[in-house]
Amino acid sequence: MSVMTKRQDALDYHSNGRPGKIAVVPTKPLTNQRDLSLAYSPGVAEPCLEIEKDTDLAYTYTAKGNLIAVVTNGTAVLGLGNIGASAAKPVMEGKANLFKQFADLDVFDLEVGSEKPDDVIRFCQLLEPTVGGINLEDIRAPDCFYIEETLRKTLKIPVFHDDQHGTAIISGAALLNALEVSGKDIGAIRVVFSGAGAAAISTAEHYVRLGVRRENIVLCDRAGVIYKGRKGDLDPYKARFQADTKARTIAEALVGADVFVGLSAAGAITGEMVKAMADCPIIFALANPVPEILPEEVRAVRDDAIIATGRSDYPNQVNNVLGFPFIFRGALDVRATEINEEMKMAATRALALLAKENVPDSVAALYGLREVQFGPEYLIPFPFDPRVLLWVAPAVAWAAVASGAANDFIDLDEYRERLESRLGRARGVMRGLINRAISNPKRVVFPEGEEPKIIRAARICVEDGIASPILLGNRDAIQQKARGMNVPLDEITIEDPATSPKRDEYAQHMWARRQRKGMSLDEARRRLFNGNYFGSCMVSRGDADALVSGVNLHYPETIRPALEVIGAHPKAGLVSGMYMLVFEKQLVFCADTTVTIDPTAEQVAQIAYSASRIARTMGVEPRIAMLSFSNFGSVRHPETEKMARAVTLLRQRDPSLVVDGEMQADTAFDPEIIERDYPFSTLKEHANVLIFPNLSAGNIAYKLLNHLGGATAIGPILVGMSRPVHVLERGADVQDIVNMAAVAVVDAQERSHPVEAVVRPTNGPTPTIYSRL
């Protein structure tokens, strides 16, 4: 994608709809006069008076205990430098989004219009009655050290400068595990830093607390090694690391070194420098978006190196999102007065220990992997591993209690249950699909290739490495529209059904399939002018791996050509449609929602079996409910008996599946009803795969859940076809199209060969789909 297009995409993302990335959402009802009188005057006076007597009751009667202030003055924003407070706001909103998505913490982003450290300090001090904690962000060094130190001394709420401590905590976990893998002693290793800013100095201090000897650490800034006696002024923070060494350049410092930590800029070191390091060198090249040295450059000279970067397209991503959301979650949940060294150390050790645990299949599936094991390419957990919340937050909370920084005590088992209920796993589903697609992209044909939304979606698929798109349509028309939108077409194949050299081959293929159903060869040739017939032939003949269509068509217009040319899989014998409904804290699969009007018991069983396989593909263990208006025979009717028989048939086909019914919808979602009234049921938790007795019920239900229940609908996912064919909802937007392309690629992967079982780097830029969802 051109720089101009990416720039416009970013601007559109932030401006479309409601501007920005965050909003304030009420947590109490306000639907009538009584609610109004409680929420505001006169009822609101009661909690005010209670808090006046005891200010600690603000944690009981207000949102303070779940509220973070993200504060910046914009003097050191990402790689942009001193761009000012207003220009820093999009970054702070992004940080707020991460706090909410990963740890269910609410945030006020606050941009302070002053570069004076004392102004920032005073501003934060005045915030203490409002928030439960303060996250300092993108403040230049050495101001950031002075600001944080002063606030920690003067405030009784946690203050944390993530730019300093985030990298220290996460890379510290990676260091501990890398040393274990390499068999090195932390007290004997030599560490060289490229960069001497806030992150580097804080990381070096953290490594000292972990056991690295201070005299074995060398920091290098733009002037070279920071050594004893170096001329020029050194701020007191750098001065702590004046090394007693003859090395004056980073190349000299790296000779025989065990660990390199890069917190500087691309190209800071070379392969020759790495070559001179000790056996099994540990390389943490953490500059973004381009590291100090690329992993492939390291591998070219040292096949014994252990490597981590800050990027998601290589193993061992050191990403601060593994730290700050969960550290604040644990701190606020025990009403900690600070985030002290014991709490930071607890976070590091929790991450290091979690990486040694068996990785659940559901987590591996989020990253398109069959198996993940602790070792050189898996030193720290994945950012989207939902277990991180359950490990880091309790560790931090308990460290706060043990070190005397907490005002509240917690029961760890009960606390973990509370945490688990805060965040569901649904938020990572689409991210998991994207990662799986990227691991082995496939050719996806789009019959509506002249549609502008399809062209833009195809570009995203190329840039994010999701698929190799094939656009069907008039070449001149596609190119003209792409130019008008400033969308490059490189790496996108264009095929014109009207002039393609494949027309005769495809006509013969379609005629062979349909000649006994009334189709002549001339009719087959005519139908190939229709992109859906042409695209279906491409998939059927192996010239494309999957088809995605329907943005401007009614459902039957899209599915009919695919059924005629490709048909149902012989083992399934039935095509059905399903939707994934992504709620805030759960994921539900619904079938059949689009194809079979009144299925038999045998067909219902097949629909359920197909849906369960899709659920497992998404990393979700299926719990299937056969829905009806009856609970386990409470009403005798052919419709209820059909669903009960389908349960029996499905259990015979796959005894490992958790399936029960027939049952009503509330029974399927309420384990208490099952436990109280139907203890014999095999469904002990709420169902996540809902199978409907007919198309009317399924179609109505998913649309109600989508529009009234606030679910995000992903689908329809067509199951049971011989080859991957997926139908878009009419009017789907660009992101819907990209998401469906990812579904199609994963479907094609499943039909060809298993996803690789080891962690491997993927090519291309970091995907952006999660941020767009």
Peptide bond into 761 cis (omega under 30): no
Cα 38 to Cα 193: distance, rounded to the nearest angstrom:
57
Give the residues across from 712 on adjacent strands. 582
Would you name the residues annotated as active-site residues?
40, 95
> Is 119 in contact with 75 (CB distance < 8 Å)?
no
* CA angle 671–673–676, rounded 5-degree value: 105
Choose among 611, 644, 612: nearest CA to 628: 644
Which residues have CB under 8 Å from 494's CB, separation 6+? 449, 470, 471, 473, 475, 478, 479
Choose among 740, 745, 769, 765: nearest CA to 755: 745
Provide the strand spans (E) within 563-702.
Answer: 576-582, 587-591, 623-627, 658-663, 689-691
| Amino acid residing at 747 | D
Cα 275 to Cα 305: distance, rounded to the nearest angstrom:
10
Choose among 60, 55, 116: nearest CA to 85: 116
| DSSP string for 363-381 | HHHHTT-S---SBTTBSS-
Cα 685 to Cα 420: distance, rounded to the nearest angstrom:
15
Provide the strand spans (E) within 7-90.
Answer: 67-72
Cα 287 to Cα 172: distance, rounded to the nearest angstrom:
16
Peptide bond into 476 cis (omega under 30): no
Which residues have CB under 8 Å from 273's CB, separation 6+? 250, 251, 254
Which residues have CB under 8 Å from 770's CB, separation 6+? 430, 431, 434
Tell me phi and psi for residue 409, to 5 degrees. Answer: -100, 150
Give the residues across from 581 on adjacent strands. 588, 713
Cα 697 from chain centroid? 32
Query: Could you tell me the CA-to-CA distances from 627 to 641, 666, 692, 768 in Å, in that order?
Result: 11, 10, 5, 37
Which residues have CB under 8 Å from 428's CB, separation 6+? 366, 384, 386
Which residues have CB under 8 Å from 680's CB, separation 6+? none
Cα 398 to Cα 75: distance, rounded to the nearest angstrom:
35
| Amino acid residing at 490 | D
Buried b (16+ CB within 10 A) or exposed e, 313-347: bbbbbbbbbbbbbbbbbbbbbbbbbbbbebbbbbb
Cα 168 to Cα 206: distance, rounded to the nearest angstrom:
6
Length, in residues, of the chain: 773
Cα 306 to Cα 298: distance, rounded to the nearest angstrom:
9
> Is 323 in contact with 393 (CB distance < 8 Å)?
no
What token pair was written down for 284?
């943490």
Query: Could you tell me the CA-to-CA distances from 346 to 296, 409, 417 in Å, in that order?
Result: 33, 17, 20
